[in-house]
Structure 1
């Protein structure tokens, strides 16, 4: 497919083009109100000038804000100024946030008093202030006098002091200090064009986005694609409001909805068929779509969840099932312009490490204490996959989600799949911890009561699968810890497993 991606892209310019064509269309909404293209750009232009008054010479500026219109306004104001937004993950803990600020050499972070108070983040902000200057969005907005607003009315062209067309997101920091992922405007724009070339998204669609903007999918699909493609987006403040979100989807008459398997599982417990009847494209990403969740949505709501695959480093979408090209169990075919190859990994017999290149692949990493590390020709995903003859990608596991037991590489994902097959529910979460005798041991957590180790061992034995797949222990927990993106927090589960060993 011939997709022409310009070499130079500024995302502010892209939404300004659409605004001239559709000035009065309502394009973005949150629980506090809605804005048309012209109203949104009016605020962006005024805010960009106020930001310039405070920090015009700073190339990178931190954003510490929730999933509301105010954050998107600040994002595009920085784009207009030619400054680099650094989207800080407010759920990752104080030390990780400080590490992110140090990694990107931030001097200033923009946040909101209302957000800090409601989210009970005052102590976190106090620690942040020891390292950076904090500017509150409320103060910037109060200072937008008529002089700032007139500039938009007479359509004065912007003069960008900065030249940056980048944005920085951060990895979770589950193993080491968080890495800064540098995405260019071109990376994000290319990914949007790649998606639009394979999925029929039109100007009548309405995207419902509960994912935070520090999550790459929340950023690209929930905050940038709508402006570029002239598709209205509803920003919801938290993906954890399981009861409210199905009702909000019904109220908004949303047609497109994306979440993780874990979130879909929770929404499905409270949703009615009427809540979700306007949805026509529903995509799961971030973690494996479990069969019981897939079956429930087909059975109870008449919805076929399409599984996709992405990474922060790829802006984020790599592959996607579509209504026309969909293979159950796969994450779809690679998007146009993406090239793939598989590297074999010692000790793993099925599949290999997926390597990628394409216009949506990041510029590189910022590493704490080391600085910029360019991506190189191929991006190594760390995902063990197979690709079938039709080009569909099947993910076996993260490379990090293998345990080495008695010299054998055992997939922790495979153990979870076996538990689903045995007990009929996907509420199983498997980790490994060090053990002197065999190298590592497997601990499985479940939110299901009355699960016995004996029943699972008998099932594995009947399947004629190696006894190395037996968990050393199955432990009941009331609730699985989650990352803010909706993925299970396996690092927390590992800490729990190690703590229980003591």
Structure 2
């Protein structure tokens, strides 16, 4: 299927079209309030005027904010101003944040006094102020005059005669191997990914999305914030995915029908959820990490919810493939979205599958590299994932290319070791990393949150399966809690650091 996409898109203009069609519809909600389209459009118009005064001639503007309505208003205010928001990850370390600011050459960063106080980030702000001007939304609000309000109201009521230019959004990678990279997504990239998704999943104006993911996370941005406003689908914004007790209760209260999270988060929510909490959910998708069978089974048995696995990357705005309620195959991440082309490149030392390369309208414009500037994407984007695709077109992820260890010259999948441990012990709390080894090049440390796990039993299990002894971890280490990223993925960088310190 080919989608008819315009060459130029401005997401403010797309939002405004829906706002004029459905002015009184509640479109955004959070625990402390909600906005109709009319209220949202007015807030955007007024704030855009004030932001423009504060950031004269600044093409890129930084946001350091939680997942709240105020950030979405500010985001669309920049779209209206034809400025480019750079969404900073507040779970990053201070040095990584400084690198992001330098990479994007930011002069101004917007944040919130209340957020900084609650999140205890004063020391981070002190460091940021050495590089950029910090502007608090609370101060900006106090500076709004009657003139701003009247002009904003007039703009909301009068026909929009200006056709705004297509601009960009900049998100940052975590920088696990080097300094963070800026991923440049055009408005058209994000718009295309929304249209691709809506042509695949039966989402209607009666649906209600529950979004606890921060907007610096590509899925939180595209599906949790932009899709609702340009497609007339209500979104409930929740400030943190880490509130495991509250989120199931809030899903039930909102009567949400669409929910997306990671396997790690689903595990935590299941400890506190009831069948009643999740009764209205009809589309539930797991992404960012592998959906484990015990999580899948628990949601089906305890809550009557089928979790569908999807797959994406920041560089693809972010959705690449999805299982749907109609077309689904367990273990796969679904079929690639319409209007995407793909190919597999063979990787030396890896016999199954190949490295997935993609091109399509949702693939990024390019990277911002620290010290180098803009690097265009090129014809194909290499995901760095080793995958197979079956005869029906379903995509199966074998591993990240970075999630292989080279031991005695052989490529050993760390994901495969985790799967073997799950198969052996019937539990999923296993996380494999590799660290340097003078004798064999690399060695494997398998972390587990499970007690009473026997290395001897696992070694025997691998031998009985007639697999290479290179799949036997050098060490099986107990850890009380697996460090996690804000996105919900296991923080393998932190685990690798622990493994090196204990080696």
TM-score bracket, normalised by the shorter chain, equals: over 0.9
Deviation track 1:366-422 (CA, whole Å, cap 9, x = no partner) reads 000001000000000000000011111000000000001111100000000011111
The Cα shift of 1:56 comes to 2.3
Could you list the per-position Cα deviations for residues 428-464 of structure 1 after superposition, in whole angstroms to 9, with x for gaps in the alignment?
0000000011111000111111111111111111111
**Is 2:353 the counterpart of 1:354?**
no
The Cα of 1:162 is off from its aligned counterpart by 8.8
Q: Identify the residue that residue 127 of structure 2 maps to in structure 1.
A: 127
Q: Which runs of 5+ in 2 are unaligned?
A: none
Please list, as runs of the form range in 1=range in 2, the aligned pairs for 1:128-143 lying within 5 A after superposition: 128-143=128-143
1:480 to 468, 479, 482: 482
Matches within 5 A, 1:224-235: 224-235=226-237
Question: Does the aligned pair in 2 maintain the 1:19–1:37 contact within 8 Å?
Answer: yes
Distance 2:226 2:174 in 1: 22
Q: 1:61 and 2:61 equivalent?
A: yes
**Which residue among 381, 389, 392 is the counterpart of 1:390?**
392
1:18 aligns with 2:15: no
* Alignment of 1:168 onto 2:170: yes
TM-score by length of 2: 0.98
Aligned partner of residue 495 in structure 1, secondary structure? helix
- Kept in 1: contact 2:9–2:165 (CA 8 A): no
Aligned to 1:245: 247
Contact map agreement 1:308 1:319 (CA 8 A) in 2:
yes
- Separation in 1, partners of 2:462, 2:162: 63
Give me the whole-angstrom Cα distance separating, in 1, the residues matched to 2:271 and 2:166. Answer: 45
C-alpha separation between the residues in 2 aligned to 1:2 and 1:498? Answer: 49
Contact 2:63 2:87 in 1 (8 A): yes
Q: 1:118-158: CA deviations, max 9, x gaps?
A: 00000000000000001000011112222111123323567
Residue 202 in structure 1 maps to residue 180 in structure 2: no
Other-structure match for 1:38: 38
1:146 aligns with 2:153: no
Confirm or deny: 8 A CA contact 1:82 1:160 kept in the other structure: no
The answer to whether the aligner puts 1:8 opposite 2:12 as a matched pair is no
Check conservation: 1:83, 1:162, Cα contact below 8 A: no
TM-score, normalised to structure 1, is 0.98
SS in 1 for 2:23: coil
Q: Which residue of 2 aligns with 1:256?
A: 258
Q: Give the 3-state SS of the residue equivalent to 1:270 in structure 2.
A: coil
Aligned residues: 501
1:93 corresponds in structure 2 to 93
Answer yes or no: is the 8 Å Cα contact 1:80–1:160 preserved in 2: no
Structure 1 residue 169 displacement after superposition: 0.1
Whether the 8 Å CA contact 2:58–2:107 is kept in 1: the answer is yes
The root-mean-square deviation of aligned C-alpha atoms, in Å, is: 1.2
Moved more, 172-181 or 146-155: 146-155
Q: Provide the rounded CA distance (Å) in 1 between the counterparts of 2:39 and 2:196.
A: 29
Query: Where does structure 1 lack aligned partners over 5 or more consecutive residues?
Result: none
Contact 2:19 2:38 in 1 (8 A): yes
The question of whether the paired residues in 2 share the 8 Å contact of 1:81 and 1:160 is answered with no
Distance 2:140 2:43 in 1: 11
Residue 107 of structure 1 is matched in structure 2 by 107
Separation in structure 1 between the aligned mates of residue 372 and residue 297 of structure 2, nearest angstrom = 47
Query: Structure 1, residues 194-227: CA drift from partner, whole Å, max 9, x if none?
Result: 0000100001100000000000000000000001
**Which contiguous aligned blocks of 4+ residues in structure 1 show a shift greater than 2 angstroms?**
152-164
> What is aligned with 1:499?
501
CA distance in 2, matches of 1:153, 1:401: 53
Show the 5 A alignment for 1:275-354: 275-354=277-356
CA drift of 1:228 comes to 1.3
2:100 counterpart SS class:
helix
Distance 1:329 1:316 in 2: 20
Paired residue for 1:52? 52
Is the contact between residue 80 and residue 158 of structure 1 (CA under 8 Å) also seen in structure 2? no
Distance 2:196 2:165 in 1: 25
